[in-house]
Amino acid sequence: MLNITLAQLNFTVGDIEANRKKILKVIEENKDVSHLIAFPELALSGYPAEDLLLQPHFLAECKKALEEIITKSKNYDTVIAVGLPYYEFDLYNALVVIYKGEVFGIYKKHYLPNYSVFDEYRYFRKGEEPLIIEINGYKVAFSICEDIWYPDGVERKTALAGAQLIVNVNASPYHIGKYSFKESFLKARAQDNICFVSYVNLVGGQDELVFDGRSLVISPDGKIIARAKAFEEDVFTVSLELEEVKRKRVMDLRWREASSRETTIKVKSFLNLGKRSFREPRIEYLPKEEEEVYKALKLGLKDYVDKNSFEKVILGLSGGIDSSFVACLATDALGKDRVIGIYMPSQFSSRESYEDAKTLAQNLGIEFHVIPIENIYNAYFKEFERELCEIEFDVADENIQARIRANILFYFSNKFGYLVLSTSNKSETAVGYTTIYGDMSGGFAPIKDIYKTWVYKLARFRNSLKPDIPERVFQKPPSAELRPNQTDQDTLPPYEILDKILVLYIEENLSPEEIISKGLPPEAVYKTINMLRKNEYKRKQAPVGIKVTKRAFGRDWRMPITNKFKS
């Protein structure tokens, strides 16, 4: 029997000292129950460290922290696997295996992802060598994140060379639908290789990325025997009966034939550790989709605010669905004492909007202020009129109201150090139905990657927990209230149609003609895609926001601003 501890922790990029202390704390707490403790990918540096990895003094600090862990490990009768950027003639994404003050192996990541949000070829050199060590007579192999995505990759080679347990360490960011896909292929790796697979993932928010945790241990027959919590730190130990692997392999003729052709991989170290008591595994529940997305947003917002040392956040409350939902999200993530809402009515704001904003703030228990903008707007208008003579009210006059509101929010931000939360959603950002330097502005955009129809879904989910958003907010037509009797649908297709078009174009990469073939109205399709293309320059200036979809604006979406391609 072998006891393995998976340390699913929330590390902070660049806070090497705090990361080191967190690692040592887990080792101290689990040294007597575990034979092997595994930490996530690049745990010491935090992930992704981006261009910090190009700074030699940053790498030197990571190496110093590693040496301190190696020194401390003399006191522990357990194997420790720690991820960090490792420089050896070149820079590697590496996993260092330590025992009793010595390094018993260094595994260097083989497959470097260079798609979506990943840029690992920019920083790292590919590793070539597998790593197997033997603990108490059992062979344990190691790999890092992307390596296990390849069915004929390093895991296959090490398993055929006799490894009964594969330890895969990860910093795998979340998006909707990704977990179920990962679970299916991890089960396949365990079954195909007739071995145990332990998958330890990072948890926490880092700029626009959120890591969901949900670390796993999977048996040789593809069953989940342990799963950590979703979107929370979680450290657990599981006892593995590795003799099961031997029994299954000897009964499998395909395995015996395949393994007979595998060149033997040299075992780096042979370790004998004391016995450990049996640890009962646990399987944490999987949240349903709305809860999962809400947890991702909440964690991403909380970590962005806390890790960047903001005391409070501030947002404009309009009485609409977007700002109402963001206020609930911020209150749940940070607590009511750290959230401030400001209602900024103009001559076009309805009494109902004020009532809904005030009721929401009272329900949440957050600080609430009313700062009318009509006099400020009139002062602007008089100055413009003096220079331009007669002015016909149009979109410029609508947008100046949004910019006045942004100025008020940023005044509070500058005066008191609050973080301004933008409340623009993905649908609006996609088609430019948001004012640059106005409601689009902010220090952080929690729902930047949430389509409008999903804002309603998530707000309904949040209200099922505690009905803080007034029902009228769900019922009234969405409106920016920048002119009399305005609704979003004066300018945009209905959101149910708009969002379908956007998902097919952005995430599924379909052409306009392919989208139309799915039954969507041609006029709406061409209008939507034209608006999306024309507003690329705005999106390039948008604040950072939390990625939850397969293809988010930002690192996922790298379209040129100057672009004459028509489709």
Average pLDDT over residues 411-415: 94
**Average pLDDT over all residues of the chain:** 92
Task: Give tens-digit pLDDT for 285-338.
Answer: 999 999 999 999 999 999 999 999 999 999 999 999 999 999 999 999 999 999
The least confident of 14-23, 120-129, 557-566 is 557-566
Task: Give tens-digit pLDDT for 330-371.
Answer: 999 999 999 999 999 988 888 898 999 999 999 999 999 999
For residue 486, what are its two tokens? Answer: 């305005």
Whether 499 has a pLDDT exceeding 70, the answer reads yes
Whether 157 has a pLDDT exceeding 80, the answer reads yes
pLDDT tier at 100 (50, 70, 90 boundaries)? Answer: very high
Q: Are strands 269-271 and 132-135 parallel, antiparallel or unpaired?
A: parallel
Task: Give tens-digit pLDDT for 47-65.
Answer: 999 999 999 999 999 999 9
Task: Give tens-digit pLDDT for 72-99.
Answer: 999 999 999 999 999 998 999 999 999 9
CB 482 within 8 A of CB 373: no
Most confident residue range from 359-373, 430-444, 479-493: 359-373
For residue 288, what are its two tokens? Answer: 């349903």
**Whole-Å CA distances, 406 to 160, 324, 442, 452:** 61, 17, 8, 21
Helix axes 495-502, 522-534, angle to 10 degrees: 70
Most confident residue range from 152-161, 263-272, 481-490: 152-161
Whether 481 has a pLDDT exceeding 60, the answer reads no
For residue 483, what are its two tokens? Answer: 């002119």
Q: What is the pLDDT of residue 490?
A: 65
Which residues, in sequence order, are CB contacts of 22 under 8 Å at separation 6+? Answer: 9, 11
Report if pTM > 0.85: yes
The residue annotated as part of the active site, out of 109, 302, 452, 538, is: 109
- In degrees to the nearest 10, what's the CA dihedral of 406, 409, 412, 418? -120
Residue 503 DSSP class: I
What per-residue string of b and e applies to 83-114 under the rule 16 or more CB within 10 Å gives b?
bbbbeeeebbbbbbbbbbeeebbbbbbbbbee
For residue 277, what are its two tokens? Answer: 């008591």
pLDDT above 90 as % of the chain: 74
Q: What is the pLDDT of residue 484?
A: 67
* DSSP letters for 512-527: HHHHHTTT--HHHHHH
Beta bridge partners of 383: none
Q: What is the pLDDT of residue 555?
A: 86
pLDDT tier at 186 (50, 70, 90 boundaries)? Answer: very high
Element (H, E) at 236: strand 234-240
pLDDT tier at 504 (50, 70, 90 boundaries)? Answer: very high
pLDDT tier at 488 (50, 70, 90 boundaries)? Answer: low
CB 145 within 8 A of CB 151: no
pLDDT above 70 as % of the chain: 98
Q: What is the pLDDT of residue 74?
A: 92
Average pLDDT over residues 182-188: 93
How is the chain split into domains, by residue range?
A: 2-271, 289-486
**Whole-Å CA distances, 86 to 41, 59, 61, 414:** 12, 7, 11, 40
pLDDT tier at 486 (50, 70, 90 boundaries)? Answer: low
Top CATH class, 289-486: alpha beta
The residue annotated as part of the active site, out of 61, 120, 145, 298, is: 145
Q: What is the pLDDT of residue 479?
A: 64
Average pLDDT over residues 111-133: 90
**Whole-Å CA distances, 85 to 13, 17, 20, 92, 149:** 12, 15, 14, 6, 21
Q: What is the pLDDT of residue 207?
A: 94
Q: What is the pLDDT of residue 263?
A: 66
Q: What is the pLDDT of residue 160?
A: 87
Average pLDDT over residues 214-221: 96
* DSSP letters for 65-87: HHHHHHHHGGG-SSEEEEEEEEE
Give dist(CA 170, CA 149) in Å, integer.
11
CB pairs under 8 A, 24+ apart, for 303-308? Answer: 303/10, 303/204, 303/205, 303/206, 304/205, 304/207, 304/444, 304/544, 304/546, 305/333, 305/334, 305/338, 305/419, 305/444, 307/12, 307/205, 307/206, 308/419
Whether 232 has a pLDDT exceeding 60, the answer reads yes
Residue 62: CA atoms inside 13 Å, Cβ hemisphere, count? 29
pLDDT top residue among 202 and 121: 202
* DSSP letters for 261-273: TSPPPPP-EEE--
**Whole-Å CA distances, 154 to 125, 160, 223, 348, 381:** 16, 10, 22, 63, 67
CB 168 within 8 A of CB 148: yes
Q: What is the pLDDT of residue 465?
A: 96
Element (H, E) at 452: helix 452-465
Average pLDDT over residues 267-271: 80
Give dist(CA 504, CA 267) in Å, integer.
49
Q: For this structure, is 145 an active site residue? A: yes
Element (H, E) at 205: strand 203-206
CATH superfamily of the domain spanning 2-271: Carbon-nitrogen hydrolase (3.60.110.10)
Which residues, in sequence order, are CB contacts of 251 under 8 Å at separation 6+? Answer: none
| Residue 340: closest CA among 329, 359, 327, 356 | 327
Beta bridge partners of 271: 135
pLDDT tier at 485 (50, 70, 90 boundaries)? Answer: low
The residue annotated as part of the active site, out of 22, 41, 302, 538, is: 41
Q: What is the pLDDT of residue 92?
A: 96
